Amino acid sequence: MIEIDGSWGEGGGQLVRTAVALAAINGAAIRVLNVRARRGKPGLAPQHLAAVRAVATICDAQTENLELGASAFTFSPRELKGGEFRFEIGTAGSITLVLQALLPALVASRKRARVTVGGGSDVRQAPPVDYLAAVMLRHLARMGAPMTLKVERRGYYPRGGGEVSIEIEPCALQPIKRSVPGALEQLKGISHVANLPAHIAERMRGAAIAQLAAFADRTNIAVRVLGDREATGRGGAIVAWAETEHTVLGAARVAEIGVSAETLGAAVGRELRADIESGATVDAHAADQLLVYLALAGPGSFFTTRELTSHAQTAIWLIGRFLPVRFVTEREGRLYRVSAVA
């Protein structure tokens, strides 16, 4: 049994999600200690518990001490399977973070699957669902793993009530080799609110566009105002992405009480502009999520990113415990080059 120290690196939920995904992929039994030790409320929170239970379901894993607030648990996987699955977080916990744990294992299974997850579609400290659809799934499609995502309903803190479905076909991942982004083709985005005044979404959009003024002729950020039929509760988010010849770069913020629409929109615009101007081929948020897929594709992949986050460093350390691929990171001017090698 492999022991994983949950306080290593960023010491949060991402380490737990990645650990169980990797265990399911290579069939290794694990014991995770010091779960989320670096967080204000350590132990398994509802969304982390839902993610581990979801991965356990798709590989018939045996678990011990898998309960709310647990500071340690064991996870012993069997064979990965496809099929149709439904998982409920039971709170406004992030749907995209549960999918972050599930998708690598489902891709590795090379079996057809359809997954529906209920919870929060756009919540703080997690990728909004539009970022998953417009950025992460585009990267995976270019690696040979096309997926179809449908937002059945949006849900926000504190009620949740959102629902997202995703379909995965059997596939074999191919390495990606991205040294330059290529010419900028277009900037797109979605600024949305649910059961809130339209001007909030419009102000987020306006602030983002102001930061992206240099690319005004290629920018199209749509505004969406949702009602009770399309969303549970009140909330919103802004997601923008740059489509280039060879890649896609994205940035996102979720609306929150006490933070102005202008602040959120400007942050997205600045972040995306910085990635475009740096010449990066993957944004920092996608970089840590892509690493496990690069490992599954085998040696040969590489990309550049403007920032190597603690999440990325944690993923690199974890992957080395499970899969026969290691990562080399090198500084190239303003960028980091990340390469998967044997």
CA atoms of 260 and 53, how far apart (whole Å)? 36
| Single-letter amino acid code for the residue at 133 | A
CA atoms of 146 and 138, how far apart (whole Å)? 8
CA atoms of 208 and 219, how far apart (whole Å)? 10
CA atoms of 249 and 291, how far apart (whole Å)? 16
Exposed, middle or buried by CB within 10 Å (0-12, 13-18, 19+), for 67?
Answer: exposed
| Residue the block writes with tokens 């359809």 | 114
Q: Could you count the other beta carbons within 10 Å of the beta carbon of residue 213?
A: 10
Kind of pairing, strands 335-341 and 302-305?
A: antiparallel
Rounded to a whole number of angstroms, the CA Rg of the chain reads 19
Residues belonging to the active site = 311
CA atoms of 236 and 231, how far apart (whole Å)? 10
Asked if residue 269 lies in contact with residue 209, where contact means CB atoms within 8 angstroms, the answer is: yes
* Cα-based distances in Å from 62 to 29, 56, 66, 72: 9, 7, 10, 14
Longest CA pairwise span in the chain (Å) = 56
Of the candidates 304, 186, 305, which has an alpha carbon nearest to the alpha carbon of residue 243? 186
| Residue 188 bridge partners (DSSP) | 220, 241
Q: What's the first-to-final CA gap in the chain, in angstroms?
A: 24
